[in-house]
Amino acid sequence: MTKKLVLIVVDGLTPAALERAVESGRAPALALLAGHGSYRRATSVFPSLTPVCLSSIVTGAGPDVHRIPHLVWWHRDERRIVEYGSSFAALRAAGMAQAITDTIFNMNQKHLGAGAVTVYEALEDEGLVAAAVNITCYRGRTRHQPVLPWVTKPAYGPRRFFYYSLFESDPTGAPFAVRNRAGGSIDVYASAVGRWLVTRDGFDFFAYYLSDFDFASHAHGPLGAEDVALVRTDAAIQALLDAAGGADAFLERYAVILHSDHGQTPVEHATHLESSLTAHADHVVVTASNRAGQVYLLPGARVDAEILARSFDGDETVEVTLRLEHDEAVARRDGEELRFRPDASGGTAGWATSGDAAILDHPDALHRAWSALANPNAGELLVSAAPGWEFADLGGRHHAGGGSHGSLVEGDSVVPVLSVGVDADVRRITDVMPAVLEHFGVAAPAYVAARERVA
Ligand SMILES: [Zn+2]
């Protein structure tokens, strides 16, 4: 009989943090899962930022299909900035009411590509019950009315849907989610909901999203987060095991995939990406946050993406820029260029390239770069920050002295994957959703099969 499946996403958990946690004995729940399952590392998408990553995990598609380009981006049709919550100051700078609507509602109802299928939609269309707590990519077919009286707009999520005390498909008695973010109250809320769901065995598939580790890693750096937050993350996982009556009973009933959406790397310096483009300020919109940025050409701009790319030559804050030229992608680094496009043969080698391959020596870089550039909501120029650097957000905030992510570099891009009781060959975070569907015998969307031809 097919076991039910719990997908645990620990935001910002690096492979090194998971490996050390398991070896040190400080994280008994993680160690228990590791002891019963198989472990590997996988790659994230570009930019390695949570809205892009969670959309990729939930849809099994890259940004080319799911169309979420960044934490902050320029909406060409509506001629405005979309901001999904880089920081409180960034929300305020983008216009608080609009930014909150974009983050909570529009990302799922309007921005997430119509051609993408979420894991909840795919499973529930086959009669299974999906549950989700706090995961910000939640699109499903069940209408949920908010539980807070001053919000009136409904959201469409899976049947069992819990979102930061704002949407709750069932009364669970979980404490208010956002009362003490730095103290871990978001994951305390998630674990109370998780305990309720597991106690009732109230789902076939459950997406359990824990975000407090990433929050701590931004503040304290990826190493510091291991001291501050990992024990709490582990306790949130232990809560599920306990709710089932112990680890054996839990694993008897559920298969598990545990992974993160992206890594983090230490950042020492912050810059304003637009300060490198002041000569072209009238022709572009710059959106930047964490360790990735995008530059959009305004209609009638008298510059092109190549000119913009050249303005970053010798800029210590930028490692690589990416752009499209006709049917080719162009990566530029230190004034040198690599051109690439999917191989016409469709073979597994995948790519026709010219130039020095070392320009994109990052994990799975050609695939990730191509998918990011093929997103119609992406800027004409994509920017990946140099190690140690971060781009200040719309509100001027950054995490210098702590940690960040978003770039192509390995530390931002490689994630740990643990699977228990499920045959999940997860090499990329976009492999998770197809593995879940396969576990339940549900067919994957056509874009999953298409992707394999360009491996
Ligand atoms: Zn983050």
Q: What is the pLDDT of residues 424-439, one digit of tens each?
A: 889 999 999 999 999 9
Q: Report pLDDT digits (tens) over 176-208.
A: 887 777 788 899 999 999 999 999 999 999 999
Rg (CA), the chain: 21
Q: Which residue has the tokens 């719309």?
A: 394
Pick the closest to residue 211 from 54, 22, 417, 385 (CA basis): 54
Q: What is the mean pLDDT of residues 218-233?
A: 93
Are 213 and 12 a contacting pair, CB within 8 Å? yes
Neighbour-count burial of 337, counting CB atoms closer than 10 A to its CB (0-12 exposed, 13-18 middle, 19+ buried): middle
pLDDT grade for 350, boundaries at 50, 70 and 90: confident
Distance (angstroms) between ligand 1 centre and the Cα of 223 equals: 14
pLDDT grade for 453, boundaries at 50, 70 and 90: low
Distance (angstroms) between ligand 1 centre and the Cα of 1 equals: 38
The answer on pLDDT for 455 being more than 50 is no
Q: How much is the pLDDT for 454? A: 44
Q: What is the mean pLDDT of residues 313-321?
A: 97
Give the residue ranges of DSSP H helices in 265-360.
Answer: 305-310
Distance (angstroms) between ligand 1 centre and the Cα of 218 equals: 6
Distance (angstroms) between ligand 1 centre and the Cα of 125 equals: 32
Are 37 and 420 a contacting pair, CB within 8 Å? yes
Distance (angstroms) between ligand 1 centre and the Cα of 455 equals: 27
Distance (angstroms) between ligand 1 centre and the Cα of 213 equals: 9
Largest CA distance in the chain: 66
φ/ψ of 315, rounded to 5, equals -85, 115
Structure tokens at 369: 């770069």
pLDDT grade for 152, boundaries at 50, 70 and 90: confident
- 3-state DSSP call for residue 353? strand
Distance (angstroms) between ligand 1 centre and the Cα of 406 equals: 8
Q: What is the mean pLDDT of residues 160-182?
A: 88
Q: Where are the beta strands (DSSP E) in 298-350?
A: 318-325, 328-333, 336-342
Q: Mean pLDDT over all residues of the chain? A: 94
Long-range CB contacts (< 8 A, 24+ apart) of 102-109? Answer: 103/136, 104/155, 104/163, 104/166, 105/153, 105/155, 106/82, 107/51, 107/55, 107/68, 107/136, 107/137, 108/137, 108/138, 108/139, 108/155, 108/156, 108/157, 109/139, 109/155, 109/156
Sign of CA dihedral 247, 251, 254, 259: positive
Distance (angstroms) between ligand 1 centre and the Cα of 391 equals: 13
Distance (angstroms) between ligand 1 centre and the Cα of 211 equals: 8
Q: How much is the pLDDT for 176? A: 82
Distance (angstroms) between ligand 1 centre and the Cα of 13 equals: 10
Long-range CB contacts (< 8 A, 24+ apart) of 433-439? Answer: 433/57, 433/58, 433/59, 433/60, 433/119, 433/122, 434/60, 435/257, 436/5, 436/7, 436/119, 436/123, 436/205, 436/257, 437/60, 437/119, 437/122, 437/123, 439/2, 439/5, 439/255
Pick the closest to residue 203 from 117, 123, 258, 122 (CA basis): 123
Q: How much is the pLDDT for 291? A: 98
Pick the closest to residue 402 from 216, 262, 220, 230 (CA basis): 220
